[in-house]
Structure 1
């Protein structure tokens, strides 16, 4: 049986297919397209990650829902990196445990969701790495080692310091160019 909020979420998603519609902590959140700064950060991240992703046969998906469980929220990160043939719940939703890295760039209205709510939803779903890029605090926060109770590790790097992504990535993100807008 579909929950009433899930039904409303699907309706809003169908009415506004061009926008990112999420179900966050029981709230329907409609995200407008990002600012030029937001999009520049995403483009710079893609440029840094693309060689590793292409070399390993992975894919970067900029607009896909992450399935966290049948009764869970529905998040749409700014970037989702998946392996070849990820496990899909539907054509529009990839299983969280079947991702390699999720990335959100904090916007003025979603800081609490990106820093607090989403890690609590991603970890129990088995999302291995969740990266939050916060241009307001000028830092990157990488959540790793997921468990049902939350992420076991949180690595925070300020702008200018490299952020190392663990296995299977084994590479570093240059944070200097990301947050110097």
Structure 2
């Protein structure tokens, strides 16, 4: 069986970046597994979840910041481009960067599922693989479809080796290097 990453991409990374630069402002593009994807605009609850996570990260880890909608170079050899719902890095880590940053300083990537038909594949399969291949230590998926939070850790060979699922309302531990425990009770009100 041929691994997914060995397929022919729709275009080069350089061609994607040129396309993305000329896209209308309301269109957010990503380049995942060699395919161009349109990332849906967040609804109100999606934005509230990201803001809630920003607040908790700031309270528990004031040395870090959760940047929303940050462009990251992902996948093997940085050939992917993902616009993460959140990226946790030391404050100032993106200073001087352009639209797409290398993931070296990223401690955690965050995605909150949207209501589009591609969300299942993109947020649950493609992005974890891309973030793992980029060496991001923790990937946090807030899945509004099934009201769960999944913490992916231990990236190795393009996959996360550990994955812990918790229902909304349960405490969720984000291990080192993040070292935060989330009380996910507020997510119950934001699942819709």
* TM-score normalised to structure 1 length: 0.86
Structure-2 separation of matches of 1:71 and 1:126: 11
Q: Tell me, yes or no, if structure 1 residue 147 matches structure 2 residue 153.
A: no
Q: Which residue is equivalent to 2:110? A: 103
Structure-2 separation of matches of 1:89 and 1:46: 22
Q: Tell me, yes or no, if structure 1 residue 176 matches structure 2 residue 185.
A: yes
Q: Tell me, yes or no, if structure 1 residue 76 matches structure 2 residue 83.
A: yes
Tell me if structure 1 keeps the 8 A contact 2:148–2:166: yes
Structure-1 separation of matches of 2:52 and 2:130: 26
Q: How does 1:159-174 map to 2 (within 5 A)?
A: 159-174=168-183
Q: Which residue is equivalent to 1:39? A: 47
Q: Tell me, yes or no, if structure 1 residue 65 matches structure 2 residue 71.
A: yes
Tell me if structure 2 keeps the 8 A contact 1:135–1:179: no
Q: Aligned residue pairs: how many?
A: 177
- Residue 61 of structure 2 aligns to a residue in which SS? helix
* TM-score normalised to structure 2 length: 0.82
Tell me if structure 2 keeps the 8 A contact 1:60–1:82: yes
Report the more deviating stretch, 18-27 or 75-84.
18-27
- Residue 29 of structure 2 aligns to a residue in which SS? strand
Unmatched 5+ residue regions in structure 2? 1-9
Q: Deviation at 1:129?
A: 0.5
Structure 1 residues 149, 24: closer, same or farther in 2, change over 3 A? closer
- Residue 130 of structure 1 aligns to a residue in which SS? strand
Q: Which residue is equivalent to 2:4? A: none
Report the more deviating stretch, 134-143 or 170-179.
170-179
4+ runs of 1 displaced by more than 4 Å?
Answer: 87-90
Q: Deviations over 1:50-94 (max 9, x none)?
A: 21232x2x2221122111254521111101111245488952222
Q: Deviations over 1:69-124 (max 9, x none)?
A: 54521111101111245488952222223201110001122121110111111112
Unmatched 5+ residue regions in structure 1? none
Structure-2 separation of matches of 1:27 and 1:81: 25
Q: Deviation at 1:157?
A: 0.6
- Residue 77 of structure 1 aligns to a residue in which SS? strand
